[in-house]
Amino acid sequence: MEDIFTIANKNFNSRLIVGTGKYKSFEETTNAVKASGADIVTVAVRRVNILDNGQPLLMDYLDPKSITYLPNTAGCYSSEEALRTLRLAREMGGWRLVKLEVLGDKKTLYPNIIETIKSTEILVKEGFEVMVYCTDDPIMTKKLEDVGACAIMPLGAPIGSGIGIQNKTNIVLIKEQSSVPVIVDAGVGTASDATIAMELGCDGVLLNTAIAEAQNPVLMAEAMKHAVIAGRKAFKAGRMEKKKYASASSPQRNLI
Amino acid sequence: MNNLNVAKIQLNGNSYEINNGTNLNELLNKLKIQKNKVAIEVNGEIIEKNKYPNLILNKEDKVEIVHFIGGG
């Protein structure tokens, strides 16, 4: 049975989106991305190192023609910075599908939702398709959807923390009320966390550190691929009812 | 001593010397950067790629050249 993942009218096979930061080398990045099966990778916009020119670039390893680049605004603490970053990303090669994150605090990397909503509104008017990193607050995610976000991406836990989804109730509430895809972004530490996100009914998972900082990133990337598929299938299958007492699995009749 | 043939610009936050009359295409060539892999801002304004040959840099221009790197 086909289970296509659609964001902003574009279809993707994999529901796992992976970051490309924190890897030891471009080779490791490439191998991990391949093992993850992801169709979309997040990338950051930074100054070219003028002294280091001629060195290989990310684009030499991950071809933006064969994998979707999702430019992000990591490190931006104001709407102005985020808008500038994404306008530059678009100029680089026509990227309209972007990940917006406007941070509010260096210690927690929690999003500044006021600036995030303001930026989303402007970007949508400029023709961007905006996937938005946000808090797991159902009122705020509704506002983001109202101003035109094409995907809602609540954090499961702080970026890079790896402690898994802290507020499942809110994630479910957000999923129930949203008519655009809901993708858990940040907080996933290991495969079971990604599975839980999918079992809650989320449309996808975005993660970076859980793979990049695993002892064996390529193996963890493969684990994440299966974890997302497993969680999605379990959600679609519909889990059994939870019961207080045991219920024997073998028939009780004709016991010897 | 002032050399009349060169101009100092701010390139990615650092002082950088160019020949007078250098356009953005020439700057990229000198830096061995392919234009399809970067975006450029001059004095806070994003420059479309088709305007690179006509954009002559002046002294004290603030030029930012950015590209994609790994990120989450």
B18 Cβ contact list (under 8 Å, min separation 6): B6, B7, B8, B9, B27, B30, B57
Beta-strand pair B62-70/A40-47:
antiparallel
Burial group, residue A256, by CB count within 10 angstroms (0-12, 13-18, 19+): exposed
Nearest to B70 among A29, A88, A159 (CB): A29
Q: What whole-number distance in Å separates Cα of residue A148 and Cα of residue A144?
A: 6
pLDDT value at position B17?
94
| pLDDT-derived band at A1, boundaries 50, 70, 90 | low
pLDDT in tens, A154-192: 999 999 999 999 999 999 999 999 999 999 999 999 999
In the beta sheet, which residues pair with residue B47? B40
Give the count of Cβ contacts less than 8 A between chain A and B.
99
Asked if residue A13 has pLDDT above 60, the reply is yes
In the beta sheet, which residues pair with residue B11? B14, B63
What's the mean pLDDT in B5-21? 94
Exactly one of A65, A99, A142, A244 is catalytic; name it: A99
Distance set, CA A60 to CA A20, A29, A67, B34 (Å): 13, 12, 12, 12
CB pair distance less than 8 Å for A21 and B31: no
Q: What whole-number distance in Å separates Cα of residue B55 and Cα of residue B9?
A: 14
- Which ranges constitute the DSSP H helices of B1-72? 24-31
pLDDT in tens, A33-71: 999 999 999 999 999 988 876 778 899 999 999 999 999
Please check whether residue A66 is in contact with residue A37, taking contact to mean a CB–CB distance below 8 angstroms.
no
What's the mean pLDDT in B48-69? 95
Of the candidates A122, A54, A89, A95, the one whose C-alpha atom is nearest the C-alpha of residue B40 is A89
Q: Specify whether A142 is catalytic.
A: no
pLDDT value at position A51?
81
Q: What whole-number distance in Å separates Cα of residue A213 and Cα of residue A209?
A: 5
Q: Which residues 138-197 in chain A show a CB within 8 A of chain B? A: 159-160
CB pair distance less than 8 Å for A48 and B67: yes
pLDDT value at position A94?
84
Where are the strands (E) in chain A, listed by range?
5-7, 10-12, 16-19, 40-47, 68-71, 97-100, 129-134, 151-154, 183-185, 204-207
How many CA atoms lie within 13 Å of A222's alpha carbon, on the beta-carbon side? 5
Please give the residue of chain A at the shortest CA–CA distance from B31: A53
Collapsed DSSP state (helix, strand, coil) of residue A217: helix
CB pair distance less than 8 Å for B71 and A93: no
CB pair distance less than 8 Å for A58 and B11: no
pLDDT in tens, A62-112: 999 999 999 999 999 999 999 999 999 999 988 899 999 999 999 999 999
pLDDT value at position A25?
93
CB pair distance less than 8 Å for B72 and A88: no
Please give the residue of chain A at the shortest CA–CA distance from B41: A88
Mean pLDDT of chain A: 95
Crossing angle of helices A191-199 and A217-237, in 10° steps, is: 20
Q: Which positions in chain B touch A89 (Cβ < 8 Å)?
A: 39, 68
Q: pTM score, two decimals?
A: 0.93
Percent of chain B exceeding pLDDT 70 equals 96
pLDDT value at position A35?
98
Collapsed DSSP state (helix, strand, coil) of residue A22: coil
pLDDT in tens, B35-53: 999 999 999 999 999 999 9
B38 part of contact set with chain A, CB < 8 Å: yes
What's the mean pLDDT in A195-214? 97
Six token digits for residue B34: 């392919």
Asked if residue B2 has pLDDT above 70, the reply is no
Please give the residue of chain A at the shortest CA–CA distance from B13: A47
Distance from the Cα of B35 to chain A's closest Cα (Å) equals: 8
Asked if residue A144 has pLDDT above 70, the reply is yes
| pLDDT-derived band at A118, boundaries 50, 70, 90 | very high
pLDDT value at position A93?
82
| pLDDT-derived band at B3, boundaries 50, 70, 90 | low
Q: Which positions in chain A touch B27 (Cβ < 8 Å)?
A: none
Asked if residue B1 has pLDDT above 60, the reply is no
pLDDT value at position A198?
98
